[in-house]
Amino acid sequence: MIIKIVSTPNIPGVEIISDVQKAYKIQPERRYVLKFTNGETTLKAFKELFLLEREVLFYVVNFEFFFYKMSMFKHCRFEFVTYPDSVEDKRIEKYKEIEKGMTGVWSSRGVDLSFTPDVFSSINSSLLNPELYLSEVNLSGVIYRMLDKKLEYKSLKKLAKEAMKDRMDGEDDFDEEFDRHLKSLVFVGVVKMRDGSFYKWSY
């Protein structure tokens, strides 16, 4: 099953179910986007849609908590999808006018990236260049950088261990952390696994 994580909850023709609601009713012929904050309501709605084999759209506020709560469905495929926002936002048009005035050229790329960023591009950039996000290099970034070519588990682990030898406390600590970071990268979808080898998701 494919679970889509969408860029906006405001999709034309789609009804929102959020965690602030206490009651909801799933109608099989309708489309829904589940606005996830703590999962109190949206996970119940998700399970209903899952059993009905209906399309599942999630708008996620807290990704870390979302993936934790969805761990029992890790066999599903998660896709990030950008949808146009059906709610007109006059601020966007205003910022586009400002950008045009500053550059003298009509280009909305900067504004578009600010309001509707490419999620996978952002993840890719943050893993490859953590300093741009005021973050330190971590094991996820080290693993990701090494996957320009396909690597088997043992080879990848050996290379990562060598790269992190001055940052980890001990071998047991590294083994546990390596598996945790690799699983997270695979679960989010930026790293794929096939025939025993790991590689970057290309986009």
Q: Give the tens place of pLDDT for each residue, 120-150.
A: 666 666 666 655 544 566 888 899 889 989 9
pLDDT of 40: 93
Asked which of 3-17, 44-58, 157-171 is least confident by mean pLDDT, the reply is 157-171
Question: What is the distance between the alpha carbons of residues 16 and 61, in angstroms, rounded to a whole number?
Answer: 14
Domain-by-domain residue ranges, the chain? 2-81, 121-200
Rg (CA), the chain: 20
User: Pairing mode, if any, of strands 151-152 and 56-60?
Assistant: unpaired
Strands (E) across 71-176 are located at 77-81, 151-152
32 and 17 Cβ atoms separated by less than 8 Å: yes
Which residues pair with residue 2 across a beta bridge? 77
The pLDDT > 90 percentage for the chain reads 29
User: Which one, of 114, 146, 108, lies nearest residue 122 by Cα?
Assistant: 114
pLDDT band at residue 78 under the 50/70/90 scheme? confident
Query: 159 CB contacts (<8 Å, ≥6 apart)?
Result: 146, 151
Q: How many CB atoms sit inside 10 A of residue 61's CB?
A: 13
Question: What is the distance between the alpha carbons of residues 125 and 185, in angstroms, rounded to a whole number?
Answer: 14
Mean pLDDT of 188-193: 80
Task: Give the Å distances, CA to CA, from 189 to 34, 46, 142.
Answer: 20, 20, 16
Contacts 24+ apart (CB under 8 A), 94-100: none
pLDDT of 44: 95
pLDDT of 103: 61
pLDDT band at residue 203 under the 50/70/90 scheme? very low
- In the CATH scheme, what is the code of domain 121-200? 1.10.10.10
Q: Give the tens place of pLDDT for each residue, 81-126.
A: 877 766 555 666 676 676 666 666 555 656 665 555 555 666 666 6
Strands (E) across the chain are located at 2-6, 14-18, 31-36, 56-60, 77-81, 151-152, 191-194, 197-200
pLDDT of 8: 86
Please say whether the dihedral angle defined by the alpha carbons of residues 83, 88, 94 and 97, taken in this order, is positive or negative.
Answer: positive
Residue 163 has pLDDT above 70, yes or no: yes
Please say whether the dihedral angle defined by the alpha carbons of residues 151, 129, 109 and 63, taken in this order, is positive or negative.
Answer: positive
